[in-house]
Structure 1
Amino acid sequence: MIVSKRNRLRLAAVATLSTLALGLAGTALAAGPTATDPSPAGPSVTAPPVTPQPTTPQAATQATITAKPSVTTVQAWELFRVTGTTTGLKAGSTVTLQQKQDGAWVTLPASVPTTSSGAYSLGVKLGITGLNELRIVSGDAASPVFTVTVH
């Protein structure tokens, strides 16, 4: 294929503009000679330095959850509250109560969103009598285990 000098310059300009557009979008490109370049050294393109992307607060710090029951002993199906705070979670994240049953953590139908400051207050009623091991979870984060005895 024969390419005129005029078309070669147009192709070189398009290649240079494409390289610049990609470079400005944060992609570092190695500029070298191409078949359409008018000069043996290739286009003179300097890509901006690639800057690291900022990490999200959740990725930078480990999320934590605290949990404190309002009582340590209740009657079956008696309402009590679990309150606490979270750090490293987005405001409005849902926290959920889990109960250890037969050695496995079971998610209970008790959850609430956190406030803008990361606080929460959750109303709970338990029916399994005896010592109940509980925790609050959100994503991969979990509070320390706490216990409530149900009579």
Structure 2
Amino acid sequence: MNRAYRLAAAGVLSAALVAGTAAAASAAPAAPTAHAVAAKAPQQATLTAKASTGSVKAWQEFRISGTSTGLKAGTKVTVQQKQGAKWVSLPASVNTGKTGAYSVRVKLGIKGVNQLRIAGGGVVSPVVSVTVR
């Protein structure tokens, strides 16, 4: 019996014993199914982001709103701006709510198309663009 099969069988037997199903514990599985492997994978965290407008005057306030999934409620999310080849964190951040939603106020002074994203909990959102005129 190869090692992967033994480990899979031991995992299923342990799970069955914890669940209290002796009948399931005595039946040896053929191999772990794709569904069983997918069920064990942790949920990947994500962030969404949407600007309240696509164009603003310099230093005019707008909002970036979105939701987080797979992050703990209260996680701090920060607005980042692409400056050259680097992503720079702006002094605009907020904590996510109980449902994972957030909304942060932003003011930009660099004229032209600004690429922005939200970062928090080791995750970044897709890029949103806002033009400053």
What residue number does 1:74 align with? 56
CA-to-partner distance for each residue in 1:53-85, whole Å, 9 max, x for gaps? xxxxxx811110000000000000000001100
Q: Percent identity?
A: 59
What residue number does 2:107 align with? 125
Q: Does 1:148 align with 2:130?
A: yes
Aligned with residue 111 of structure 1, among 93, 111, 116? 93
What residue number does 2:120 align with? 138
Amino acid corresponding to residue 145 of structure 1 in structure 2:
V
CA distance in 2, matches of 1:94, 1:139: 7
Higher relative CO (Cα under 8 Å, sequence separation at least 6) belongs to 2
- TM-score normalised by structure 1 residue count: 0.61
- TM-score normalised by structure 2 residue count: 0.69
Q: Structure 2 stretches of 5 or more lacking a match?
A: 1-13, 16-40
Q: Does 1:85 align with 2:67?
A: yes
Deviating 4+ runs (over 6 angstroms): none
3-state SS of 2:94 partner: strand
Q: Does 1:62 align with 2:20?
A: no
CA distance in 2, matches of 1:105, 1:139: 16
What residue number does 1:7 align with? none
Q: Structure 1 stretches of 5 or more lacking a match?
A: 1-49, 52-58
CA distance in 2, matches of 1:94, 1:72: 24
**Higher Rg of the two aligned structures:** 1
Root mean square deviation of aligned Cα: 1.6
Deviation of 1:95 (Å): 0.6
3-state SS of 2:79 partner: strand
What residue number does 2:27 align with? none
Deviation of 1:140 (Å): 1.7
